[in-house]
Chains A and B, each alone.
Chain A
Amino acid sequence: MTEGYNFAYLDEQTKRMIRRALLKAVAIPGHQIPFGSREMPLPYGWGTGGIQVTAAVLGASDVLKVIDQGADDTTNAVSIRRFFAKTAGVRTTTHTAEATVIQTRHRIPERQLRDDQIIVYQVPMPEPLAKLEPSRTETRKMHALADYGAMYVKLYEDITRFGHVSISYDYPVMVNNRHLMSPSPIPAFDNPKLHMSAALQLFGAGREKRVYAIPPLTPVNSLDFEDHPFRATRAPHSCGLCGSDTSYLDEVVTDDRGGRLFCCSDTDYCEGRRQSATAE
């Protein structure tokens, strides 16, 4: 562990402040709670909110997994995992099943999470209405009044222009039938995993100084219309490495003549499938 810094970098007072905000967040699912976000030694926009939330909930016996784009080996995931290995000395893993705390950017693991796991999302823009109304003073009022008509109008306009809702990621959800929430920029494909998840889901936005939460077993619905129900989409291929035809796929350009390889974005899921295939 790094000398001179407290366990998991933040001092205990700060962690307590964040935990108080998280308790409030759990009590009002999907509602954004302001918190005294600190300057972290990593840049804003690179996961400072997630890092502060992880630091606040992490204990010495926890096992931490960090993913970015579903993968454990992407540079920013490596950097954040190292940060906690260094400042908290906790055990880290790449296996979803082994982790007690999972910090993620842009994905939810394919493997179903359990009730003894916490997933921490890095959030760039916690305000789901920001693209429709830039003033946070106004959006606060809209949330207070559950005045979400503007978002439904946006979805309707998409359908009239394109035939579909054109939001592919950070697809807005209604939490506990009350608060409109940004699920962070996960692909819409992952949205159904938010619904009635057994794991506690925590969201941290450092630069915007907000946390919010989805307690276990909370209904989370992606916004849609009865005649235009929400549809999760993925590339219509099987993984070129493990053969999965249900996982979310990355598209990798293999040459300059149109060659493509589609493979799982969740690297742990993909490796697990390949290992059990060779074992058989």
Chain B
Amino acid sequence: MAYVAVKGGERAIDNAHAWLAEARRGDPAVADIGTDQIAQQLGRAVDRAMAEGSLYDRDLAALAIKQAQGDLIEAAFLLRAFRTTLPRFAASLPLETGAIRPLRRISAVFKDLPGGQVLGPTTDYTHRLLDFSLTDGTPPPAAPLTAAEPEAMPRVHDILGREGLIEPDAPDGAEPGDLTREPLAFPAGRDLRLQALARGDEGFLLSLGYSSQRGYGNNHPFIGEIRMGEVAVEIEPPELGFAIEIGDLVLTECQMVNQFGGSKTTPAQFTRGYGLAFGQGERRAMAMALVDRSLRAAELGEDATAPGQNAEFVLGHCDNIEATGFVEHLKLPHYVDFQSELETLRRIRAESL
């Protein structure tokens, strides 16, 4: 009968939270992990939490990861719930990723190009063997340093654009929308689609991008360029009338070159897919660029038959904070609805027997 007499809801919740705090800390004989250690040594987790949490703050992301016990969707949720309370005092000017201070830049379409291929701190060519030396804290050998000649690094798409081989990417002059302020409506412009993808779930974007490569909506992509590095953020306060720098972001940008569009009036041109991620988020930026291109099917006059080409499907389901909330809400009590189902089922069965 304890169940019916339940009055212990409040105490049960308090006790559960206390247990959670204890479980989060783990064995007190093991050193407490510092958020600075997470920010420094779990950088890719921090990047992902920042991207999906839509908030660029490495220290807060590290705290969220610690609080969420490493559950990155929960960490992103903590960041989102914090972000939504922040006042907005300005919108930045468009970031000039052409002037990125590169840590990495590769192109898969030209063997060499101005600015060169810069591998940066990549895992691409590591052999995936567990490195047991990491368990005993041996410091890594110093990475060799060479003085780099500062050299301009023009975008691959601008190089192709000079010949008119790729569609232009001119701004349409309209103020970009913000789906965190106004509810998304369909058809959604590319600005809103990119915003949704930029904060979408990495796994979902990855699978959709992958499906487009496997024939569900034909994408024929090349990596025009991936660049990762520091970009300055500028705002232009109206009372000043000129731009001032307020900080730097580390970003990963992916520009895909896709197969031709064109018509009787426009000669054939490569088309674009675009991906951008906070931090070092190469997989995310690439997946986003694939999905961005897929979602342009209607605009480019292609048949939209695959899930990755359906904006309502993709944008309606890419947000993992919304998705996890609704999936996990099934844990909440549903006994009233279940009771109504029981009665309906009993009645139908009684009449048919």
Residues of A within 8 A of B (CB): 5, 11, 34-41, 43-46, 48, 68-70, 73-79, 82, 105-107, 124, 135-137, 162-164, 166, 168-170, 185-189, 207, 209-210, 233-235, 241, 248-252, 254, 261, 263, 265
Is there a chain A Cβ closer than 8 Å to B341's Cβ?
yes
A-B contact list, 15 entries, CB within 8 Å = A36-B183, A43-B77, A43-B325, A44-B324, A45-B327, A73-B9, A107-B336, A124-B326, A137-B312, A162-B348, A163-B348, A164-B344, A209-B184, A248-B336, A261-B4
Which secondary structure dominates where chain B touches chain A?
helix
Most buried by A among B80, B336, B342: B336
A163: B residues at CB distance < 8 A:
348, 351-352
Docked complex: B316-338 residues within 8 A CB-CB of A = 316, 321-322, 324-329, 332-337
Known: A43-B77, A74-B333, A106-B337. A233 touches B343 (CB 8 A): yes
**12 further A-B pairs in the complex, CB-CB below 8 A; given A185-B336, A189-B340, A250-B335:** A38-B84, A76-B332, A77-B9, A107-B336, A124-B326, A135-B312, A137-B187, A162-B348, A188-B340, A210-B183, A241-B4, A265-B339
The total of chain B residues at the interface (CB under 8 A) is: 50
Residues on B lying within 8 angstroms of A by beta carbon are 1, 3-4, 6-10, 12-13, 77, 80-81, 83-85, 180-187, 312, 316, 321-322, 324-329, 332-337, 339-344, 347-348, 351-352
- CB distance A76 to B333 under 8 Å? yes
Q: Are B81 and A39 touching (Cβ within 8 A)?
A: yes
Chain B neighbourhood of A170, CB < 8 A: 337
Q: Could you tell me the distance in whole angstroms from the C-beta of B49 to the nearest C-beta in chain A?
A: 14
User: Do A69 and B85 form a contact, CB below 8 Å, given A34-B183, A136-B186, A207-B326?
Assistant: no
User: Chain B's nearest CB lies how many Å from the CB of A23?
Assistant: 17
Residues A43 and B9 in contact, CB atoms below 8 Å apart: no
A235 x B343 contact (CB < 8 A): yes
Across chains A and B, which 10 residue pairs bring their CB atoms closest together, nearest first?
A44-B325, A45-B329, A168-B340, A43-B325, A209-B183, A187-B340, A45-B326, A45-B325, A34-B183, A168-B344
Name A137's closest neighbour in chain B (CB-CB): B186
Q: A43 is contacted by which of B329, B335, B347 (Cβ under 8 Å)?
A: B329
Q: Which residues of B contact A69 (CB under 8 A)?
A: 333-336
B81, B84, B184, B340: which contacts A169 (Cβ < 8 A)? B340
Q: Which of B182, B324, B352 contacts A36 (CB 8 A)?
A: B182
